[in-house]
Amino acid sequence: MKQVTGTREEAPSMNVPAGDTGASWAVDGARLGRLPDLSDAGAYVVDDRGRIVEVAAQAEQLLGRPAEELLGRDAHDLLHRGKYGETLPRSRCAMRRPLIVGGSAQGEGEWFERGDGLLMRVSWMVTPCRLDEGGTGALVIFHETPSPTPAPHEADGAAASMSQLDRLALLAETTTTLTSSLDVDETLRQLVRLVLPLLADWVVIDLLTEDGGVSRASVVHFEDGLLTYRDDLEGPMPPVPQESPMPLSRALRGVTATLVTPETYHGHPDSGIAVAQQELFRVTGMHSACIAPIRGVRDVVGALTLGRSGQPAAFTTADLLLVEDIARRAGLALDNARLYERQRRVAETMQRHLLPHLPSVPGLEMNASYRPAPRASQVGGDWYDSFVLPDGATALVIGDVVGHDLDAAAGMAQVCNMLRAYAGASEDPPSVIVDRLDQAVARMAQTTMATAVLARLERRDDGGWLLRWTNAGHPPPLLVERDGRTRYLEEGQDLLLGTGIPTVRADATADLPPLSTLVLYTDGLIESPTRTLDEGMSRLARHAASMAHRPVTLLGDVLIDRVRPTDNDDDVALLTVRIPAHP
């Protein structure tokens, strides 16, 4: 742990109060001794990262936390809270600004969370100080101040208690956070975290579906420091009536934002969606709510409802304007995410339709599997192929076009079709065909690079099977024998396609034992940002060996389920071939 400036015999143990350590430190060049115990104020020192490195005994008493619970912890994360006990984004922490820009600062009306969970309103002063080893930090002095009692006429909404700077900081954080993902579900989760419990203790998000319906996508309650997702209140909703004056119907038509109370829905409901709203207010106990349209670039995306049941204050006009602004930013983010989802579905659908049906070859068992990327951020150019060559041999192909977008899927279609055409036009060895393909790829209008394995599987006169292949920068095929022995076919390696670099490609050959299994796969099966490639290949070999007796029809999907790393955001293509027993 970093200590404040000064010489000392040894570092204090974690259970010794900081006031007894004898540390020395400097403020404005004046060297001081240990932190003083002031009569009604606490003090602590933080380093340049905001971690507490010294604490006075009086601070321990005021905060209801022992020194060992404070030292080494981030002061903002541990102590600083909003008016309702919510955690605050760092962008709204005035006490951190001296650490960033230097100078002293002071203020009041901030809230600390005590060790017993109660909030303490504090006035504070922060001034820079110099720590050991030439580092800088800040001395924080604070004391408890009574909570003000608002006049009856004062607006007590969340937005009314926020300064203009706080509102701008929240809106900026909303924009930054919501646009950081192109996944609809993740965007909704981030929206919930931004508004709960800062502005409300309930959030309801209704989204318009592509077929014109309404889905209650998210209902979340903040209580006792926890977010509870109420799946029982989510699901499909009745259609939006075009003439209804009720707030949710108007918001879903993009009309306006509205302040709402349970009395708004007390009358006879004019539609099924109004009945759903009556039930929502009854179940949640909300006494005040804001409902704002979520607008995209061209159309309405849905509606955002923020409600209060535990927070006593009713929403105000200032709150409504803030919520409307947040909903507008959410609409842009959701619009982008939905557009990306549509593009992803187009690419995935195109890719699936382009993947071929495997031929029926007497004696051979073949199966192929394709698994798209687990998240919307990746749509790849992985493919497999197999077809019967003019001389009766069977061609086996596995490949991967570099990239993860619609262009990669389109490039995959071109490369796959060219390889089929070149292989079917002659009886040349795989190396010659792939070299011809490489020259064609280099001439494509759209710059494309790809890895691929092209193999010929042919039956010998003695009834055995011979594999002849060449490898253009692709992970090596795996051969699994009947008794569970495995080896990677690492021969025949050369440059990937599309580099424009001339190369002399080579062929490799291997006899395939009876009842052995050949596994061709793309790198999404073995690559991981947290593991080495060797670890991924060892994992594949181990699982493939354990399934040497499994039917080929099951092998591919089981391997993907067991081997594919959970942190690899890539698609996977896999082709398995089982060699028959000798006749």
Residue 150 placed within a domain: no
Q: Are residues 246 and 286 in the same domain?
A: yes
Residue 178 placed within a domain: yes
Q: What angle do CA 217, 220, 223 make, to 5 degrees?
A: 175
Q: Are residues 433 and 519 in the same domain?
A: yes
What DSSP element (H or E) covers 206? strand 202-208
State the sign of the Cα–Cα–Cα–Cα dihedral 268, 271, 272, 275. negative
Q: Are residues 228 and 278 in the same domain?
A: yes
Residue 151 placed within a domain: no
Give the integer Cα–Cα distance in Å for 99 and 214: 48
> Residue 396: which of 423, 428, 425, 432 has the closest Cα?
423
Which of 324, 344, 364 is at the close of a domain?
Answer: 344
Structural domain total, the chain: 3
CATH number, domain containing residue 83: 3.30.450.20
Q: Are residues 390 and 436 in the same domain?
A: yes
Position of tokens 């060992």?
68
Q: Are residues 371 and 235 in the same domain?
A: no
Check residue 107 and give its pLDDT. Answer: 87
Residue 532 placed within a domain: yes
State the sign of the Cα–Cα–Cα–Cα dihedral 309, 311, 313, 318. negative
Give whole-number Cα distances, 84 to 158, 286, 465, in Å.
10, 17, 73
Overall pTM > 0.75: no
Q: Are residues 123 and 179 in the same domain?
A: no
Question: Residue 46 forms beta bridges with which residues?
Answer: 52, 138
- Please tell me whether residue 527 adopts helix, strand or coil conformation: coil
- For residue 94, what are the domain limits? 18-144
Q: Are residues 415 and 561 in the same domain?
A: yes
Q: Are residues 113 and 135 in the same domain?
A: yes
> Residue 276: which of 308, 305, 300 has the closest Cα?
305
CATH number, domain containing residue 572: 3.60.40.10
Give the integer Cα–Cα distance in Å for 397 and 509: 15
CATH number, domain containing residue 322: 3.30.450.40
Alpha helices in 392-493 (DSSP H): 406-425, 430-442
Tokens encoding 418:
């060219």
Distance separating the N- and C-terminal Cα atoms of the chain = 73
Q: Are residues 125 and 168 in the same domain?
A: no
Check residue 354 and give its pLDDT. Answer: 65
DSSP string, 235-257: EEEPPPPTT--SHHHHHHTT---
> Residue 204: which of 311, 321, 301, 304 has the closest Cα?
304
Let me know if 137 is exposed, middle or buried by CB neighbors in 10 A (0-12, 13-18, 19+): buried
Give the integer Cα–Cα distance in Å for 3 and 217: 50
Mind listing the pLDDT tens digit of every residue in the chain (583 residues)?
334 433 333 333 333 333 343 444 555 554 444 566 666 789 999 887 788 999 998 999 999 999 999 998 989 889 998 877 777 777 677 787 777 666 788 888 889 999 888 889 999 999 888 876 667 788 899 999 886 644 443 444 455 556 666 777 777 788 888 877 788 888 899 999 999 998 999 999 999 988 889 999 999 999 888 899 999 999 999 999 888 899 999 999 988 889 999 999 888 888 999 999 999 999 999 999 999 999 988 889 999 999 999 888 999 888 888 899 899 999 988 988 888 777 767 766 666 666 778 999 988 999 999 887 765 445 567 889 999 999 999 999 999 988 766 677 677 878 988 999 999 888 899 999 999 999 998 888 677 899 999 999 999 988 899 999 999 999 999 999 999 999 999 999 999 998 888 899 999 999 999 999 999 999 999 998 888 999 999 999 999 999 998 899 889 999 999 999 888 778 899 999 999 987 6
What DSSP element (H or E) covers 354? helix 317-354
Q: Are residues 547 and 500 in the same domain?
A: yes
Buried b (16+ CB within 10 A) or exposed e, 494-511: bbbbbeeeeeebebbebe
